[in-house]
Amino acid sequence: MSDLDTIAWYEAHAQRYFGKTCGAANRHLDPFLDRLTPGARILELGCGAGQDAAHMAARGFSVDPTDATPAMVLLAREISRVPARQLRFDELDAEAAYGATWASACLIHIARADFPGVLRRVLRALAPGGWHFANFKLGGGEGRDPLGHLHNFPDEEWLADGYRDANFVIEDRETYRGSGADGIVRNWHALTVRKPD
């Protein structure tokens, strides 16, 4: 995420956001972790307050939690006791370093023009055969939500085309109802994809 207004909102409202999202880990997380080699190294993008990272660590995985927002990194360290660090998507430069990347409700903030480049960075960070999960608010095109957050608001096929163009293999897709920080219930789309061996 590199949209300064979106980062500024999360920085100013980190405690409020944590209060809305704290609790059980993402319902997609355990099915994703079940696909991985035990103890695999996982990069989390957009870790927020770190509850998913803490769950991964509790299951025995080596987790590298990252977030673009300093206040979220601090919350993840202090509340979830995970070794979070600050990283924007466009700063990711790892090569074949991870068995998986987890990106829950964060790649939604990438401008459409920047999306292919970020997916290429994620692919490069994965070891051959590595797994990646991301979910997105669906919509009719790039814009801002009522909180001012930048969203790419894709449809299912735009996402599928983007991942295939980046050379990912799509293994699973799901459209479901859910809400985000703005509290609006809408359709979301989750993808589980893999880097070719």
Matching residue, tokens 């355990």: 30
- Model pLDDT for residues 28-46, shown as the tens digit of each residue: 999 999 999 999 999 999 9
What is the rounded CA–CA span in Å between residue 47 and residue 162? 23
- Model pLDDT for residues 132-141, shown as the tens digit of each residue: 999 999 999 9
Q: How many domains does the chain have?
A: 1
Structural domain for 91, as ranges: 4-194
Among 111, 103, 115, which residue's Cα sits nearest to residue 48?
Answer: 103
Quote the pTM value.
Answer: 0.93
Three-state secondary structure readout of 51-119: HHHHHHHHCCCEEEEEECCHHHHHHHHHCCCCCCEECCHHHCCCCCCEEEEEECCCHHHCCHHHHHHHH
- With cut-offs at 50, 70 and 90, classify the pLDDT of residue 4: confident
Chain length of the chain:
197
- Model pLDDT for residues 98-156, shown as the tens digit of each residue: 999 999 999 999 999 999 999 999 999 999 999 999 999 999 999 998 888 899 999 99
Task: List the CATH number of the domain containing 122.
Answer: 3.40.50.150
- Model pLDDT for residues 82-99, shown as the tens digit of each residue: 999 999 999 999 999 999
